[in-house]
Amino acid sequence: MNKILISVVGPTAIGKTKLAILLAQHYNTEIISADSRQFFKEMNIGTAVPSSEELKLAKHHFIQHKSITESYSVGDFERDAIKKLSSLFKTNEVVIMVGGSGLYVNAVTDGLNSFPTIKADVREVLNLELKEFGIEFLQKKLESLDPLYFNKVDIHNPQRVIRALEVTIGCGKPYSSFIDKPKAKRGFKVLTVGIKADRAIIYERINQRVDLMIAAGLLEEAKELLPYRNFNALQTVGYKELFNYFDDEWTLEFAISEIKKNTRRFAKRQLTWFLKNENTKWFDYDYDQNRIVNIINNEILKFKNG
């Protein structure tokens, strides 16, 4: 238990990558990405994948290692990440994990909750309802059947909404009743570091990032991915809005405004998720990151002495 996983969390566009790289360099170690949007090699601009320069500064794992045509669940990620950590901890006392996907972060630090097996026809019906009535129909259904989880989940992610409904309907118990179970035993300690800012600052940074993505070629990237729009990986902010533009349902200006709005909503839900962890050490986004490293050093000493 002398091995330490430093988990860097926070909302999108807050500066997690920069801090993770600084920590990796300080401890001469490697980084595991827990950002589920960055797993897919075809999605580059719209997922804010670390630049080639950033990737050279520290070795990253689980960045663009899958294709959007492949199925890759949070359970798959938990298995692969724990296996990778076991390997990395053989030669490193400290490993860094960074990402804004709360469910994927928790899968590594605490383990996944176990769910009953559900008949396939339940999901089939939900997928048909999504296609016929839209995500709003399923959102209202989830709010009615499991309001507790409705207030936690990213309701704009069809895959998450359908999964919650699938379990709730399939076994007659709310999805929320299966989560927040006792944590899995891990062979390492976890130090969670969070970066946050006032909401207005977060929103401003998000708006700026989206503008930069558009300037960098997000429109062209989304157009190339249009034939694959029905894959789960592309049911995400930044792409689905542009698909509506390509369908002539929205103007480009409105699609970009929707990307910003939905990303802001996503950031709000990220913060809500991460603030639940009372053990997280929070820092403002503009706090000197070298001082953060010194503070983390002291925390690691406490871990080892404790």
The reply to whether 144 and 29 lie within a common domain is no
The reply to whether 186 and 275 lie within a common domain is yes
Predicted pLDDT of residue 282: 97
The reply to whether 278 and 200 lie within a common domain is yes
Rounded to whole angstroms, the Cα distance separating 233 from 70 reads 9
Q: Is 263 annotated as a binding residue?
A: no
Structural domain total, the chain: 2
What CATH code is carried by the domain that includes residue 154?
1.10.20.140
Rounded to whole angstroms, the Cα distance separating 155 from 136 reads 9
The reply to whether 236 and 261 lie within a common domain is yes
What CATH code is carried by the domain that includes residue 193?
3.40.50.300
Q: Is 215 annotated as a binding residue?
A: no
- Domain extent, residue 102, equals 4-113+181-305
Quote the crossing angle between the two packed helices 16-26 and 289-305, to the nearest 10°.
60
The reply to whether 71 and 160 lie within a common domain is no
Q: pLDDT tens digits for the chain (306 residues)?
A: 689 999 999 999 999 999 999 999 999 999 999 999 999 999 999 999 999 999 999 999 999 999 999 989 888 999 999 999 999 999 999 999 999 999 899 999 999 877 777 888 898 899 999 989 999 999 999 999 999 999 888 888 888 899 999 999 988 889 988 876 677 889 999 999 999 999 999 999 999 999 999 999 999 999 999 999 989 899 899 999 999 999 999 999 999 999 999 999 999 999 999 998 999 999 999 999 999 999 999 998 887 776
Predicted pLDDT of residue 1: 60
The reply to whether 65 and 129 lie within a common domain is no
Rounded to whole angstroms, the Cα distance separating 36 from 48 reads 12
The reply to whether 97 and 197 lie within a common domain is yes
Q: Give the DSSP letter string of 136-174.
A: HHHHHHHHHH-HHHHTTS-TT-HHHHHHHHHHHHHHSS-
Q: Which of 178, 195, 215 is the last residue of a domain?
A: 178
Predicted pLDDT of residue 306: 64
Predicted pLDDT of residue 40: 97
The reply to whether 65 and 159 lie within a common domain is no
Q: What are the structure tokens assigned to 299, written together? A: 């925390």
Q: Is 12 annotated as a binding residue?
A: yes
The reply to whether 169 and 202 lie within a common domain is no
The reply to whether 90 and 211 lie within a common domain is yes
Predicted pLDDT of residue 114: 74
Q: Is 147 annotated as a binding residue?
A: no
Radius of gyration of the chain (CA): 20
Q: Is 10 annotated as a binding residue?
A: yes
Helix (H) / strand (E) element for 95: namely strand 94-98
Q: CA nearest 78: which of 36, 49, 117, 21?
A: 36
Q: Which of 152, 178, 204 is the last residue of a domain?
A: 178
